[in-house]
Chains A and B, each alone.
Chain A
């Protein structure tokens, strides 16, 4: 066994052969190593290639891609009316940009001569100056040729085949309704943000990426706004007035359903060049609104218990106070009761009622109605009332009672009328659509009983008095006219009036207040050569209410009215 194992352990081979075998094994190893190296090289190259492909596949496109949600986010949020009709939206638009380096070589930026291209452009845009455009193209300066072009114009420019004429897509602010509610919306200036109206107020929210996806709903109703502007324009043109203002206010929530100031401007154009007529007469213009204040003074007196018996006759003779004498425009007799004083718009009786009330209590009522401060509304343009400071004298008290010596905005008046008819609660007005749960509680200014009496008396004014042309059949409109001379240079201009009409409807269950102000109406055929509110402002309300009533859910009914049976005999003697 051991001998066999020894024989196997020591091979009996010659030395030369052993060497050859070793050499062969060595060469074999070398060859294998070389193959291995080559294979490793291949693997490495493949790996590098794979990594490169993978990196291209996964990372190459990543920075360019944006999520669908992000791409759909408008560059500036949309503004809609209370029913979701768009009033302002970001709108994809085209611009015409000249890029002389677009061809990428040192030669001419255009394929054809600049004059030829200018002629082609003139055919597309007839308003351009051909020679100037040719010089502009020859100058080789990059820049806008036109800021906004229409899609079909963009197609035509594209068809010219000039690489240097680029059509970049830009976002524009577009107001589909044109001039409608321009003063409420305002406009947008590129790179500066919103100006003037709600565009300025909501600027942060409209440009915040987290919030701008959701449209902002205003309290306006486009249909009501359209009707208001239409009727106001008609009233303004018919009386040859220099301006007009109107507001429709929800009496229970303070939401502004429509607000218009004429003459208007076009926010689609305003962004580039600024605008004229940006003055908002509803929130920024302060006017002495005249007799429309009389119901407020009477309501304050009734609330304080000064006027208890409505049948009590008051002396209607001219009042001499200080150096002034307060007279009635059309005296209706030696004595008038309070309903008659309102129906016939008597300055003397109102002044005497205010005198009995006292300056402090009338002042308190006016402050409670917010007449001493700028109107409560979101808009940045809010006029400061001209408010008699300090302690009110007897004259001040009496003149304020019939709407002189105190200048406020039409919005102030609308809010005060809303408080007078809705049961006595004053609420701040708003341009934002309110959820029923968010309606402010407001503050009580008048008693419920006073408000109820005022509804009767306002209705009587439009049945028997100066507001007859505003009495739209079936809508139970009630309101008061006011015609005040415009203050100018310390005195009053006899020739220029501010006619106003403040109304509420339907007065048996008030829903909306309408205030219409006509600035400097002239006597025309349409207004029977009269300038007073009964012929200028009241007919506007009379035409407007039937148009907006059904839209606002107020159904006309000729069998229904405010119960004035206990007061009718005081005015209507027949």
Chain B
């Protein structure tokens, strides 16, 4: 027979044992989390190093001197001229002034938006109504090149639109317009 005293001390022992076990389990858990943190820190470090590496590589490849060299060979961008800047709303409004009596008519450019539902099938001839297939619509060539080939550079120069803007039509955009997808 177990007396009350013995039962109580046994109970205490059991509680102690459970507590000890819990402490051990908890410390294991703590260590597991700690090592996870350590791993995460290591990963942060390696990622930061990689970012640094990639960023530096990018900076090196896109250095000012390299950009200037590319610009000289490929792009030919020039510093903006004074007349490309507008001082404010007043100057903007002055651009829309009425033409003088002897002024030449402004060159108007036709432009169609390739918006939703704006397209109504393939392009049709305004005279016969038959569908027209554009030579450039199916070609892989840059639209700017096609234009230059057909009309020469002088038209781009003569156009009131800046050369830089006139040339920035991407081949993607023109094919979307031309094919009418």
Contact = CB atoms under 8 A, between A and B. Distances in A.
Interface stretch (A186-194, A225-233, A280-288, A461-469): A225-233
A557 interface: yes
Interface in A82-121: 85-86, 89, 91-92
Given A65-B38, A91-B52, A230 B68 contact: yes
Contact of A473 (B63, B67, B81): B81
Interface stretch (A26-34, A172-180, A197-205, A311-319): A172-180
A440 interface: no
A71 interface: yes
A555 B85 contact: yes
Interface in B132-151: none
Contacts of A72: 45, 48
Given A65-B38, A226-B64, A85 B59 contact: yes
B22 interface: no
Contacts, number: 80
Interface string A531-565: 00000000000000011011000011111000000
Nearest to A551: B79
B80 A86 contact: no
Nearest to B62: A176
A57 B27 CA distance: 10
Given A68-B44, A71-B45, A85-B59, A473 B82 contact: yes
Given A92-B49, A92-B52, A226-B67, A558 B59 contact: no
B153 interface: no
Given A178-B60, A178-B63, A557 B82 contact: yes
B48 to A, nearest CB: 6
A229 B44 CA distance: 38
A178 B65 contact: yes
Specify the main secondary structure of chain B where it touches its partner: helix
A523 interface: no
A177 B65 contact: yes
Contacts of A546: 79-81
A65 B53 CA distance: 24
B56 A550 contact: no
Interface string B21-56: 000000100010000001001001100110011011
Contacts of B49: 92
B87 interface: yes
Nearest to A556: B82
A475 interface: yes
A174 B38 CA distance: 29
B63 A177 contact: yes
B81 A226 contact: no
A174 B55 CA distance: 12
Interface residues of A, number: 36
A223 interface: yes
B65 A474 contact: no
Interface in A138-190: 151, 174, 176-180
A473 B78 CA distance: 14
B62 to A, nearest CB: 9
Given A556-B85, A557-B82, A226 B65 contact: yes
A179 B65 contact: yes
A86 B59 contact: yes
Nearest to B55: A86
Interface centre among A176, A222, A473 (most CB of B within 10 A): A176
A223 B31 CA distance: 51
A307 to B, nearest CB: 34
Interface centre among B41, B45, B79 (most CB of A within 10 A): B79
B83 interface: yes
A151 B49 CA distance: 13
Interface centre among B27, B31, B45, B56 (most CB of A within 10 A): B56
A344 B63 CA distance: 42
B68 A226 contact: yes
A177 B59 contact: yes
Contact of A556 (B38, B59, B64, B81): B81
Contact of B82 (A178, A227, A475): A475
B130 to A, nearest CB: 51
Interface in A229-269: 229-230
A229 B27 CA distance: 63
B47 to A, nearest CB: 11
A86 B52 CA distance: 11
Interface centre among A475, A549, A557 (most CB of B within 10 A): A557
B83 A222 contact: no
A558 B53 contact: no
Given A89-B56, A474-B81, A556-B81, A180 B65 contact: yes
Interface centre among B31, B53, B82, B85 (most CB of A within 10 A): B82
Nearest to B84: A556
A473 B84 CA distance: 12
A568 B38 CA distance: 76
A227 B59 CA distance: 17
Nearest to B79: A546
Contacts of B81: 473-474, 546, 556
Contacts of B44: 68
B104 to A, nearest CB: 23
Interface in B81-111: 81-83, 85, 87
Interface in B110-132: none
A222 B64 contact: yes
B2 to A, nearest CB: 20
A558 B82 contact: yes
A177 B64 contact: yes
Interface string A383-425: 0000000000000000000000000000000000000000000
Nearest to B44: A68
Contacts of B52: 89, 91-92
Interface of B: 27, 31, 38, 41, 44-45, 48-49, 52-53, 55-56, 59-60, 63-65, 67-68, 79-83, 85, 87
Given A178-B60, A225-B64, 20 more contacts: A57-B27, A68-B41, A71-B45, A86-B55, A86-B59, A89-B52, A91-B56, A174-B56, A177-B59, A177-B64, A179-B65, A180-B64, A222-B64, A230-B68, A474-B82, A474-B85, A475-B82, A546-B80, A557-B82, A558-B83
9 contacts: A68-B44, A92-B49, A92-B52, A177-B60, A225-B64, A226-B67, A474-B83, A555-B85, A556-B85
Across the A-B interface, give the 6 residue pairs with the lowest CB-CB distance, nearest first.
A474-B82, A226-B64, A176-B59, A556-B82, A546-B79, A547-B79
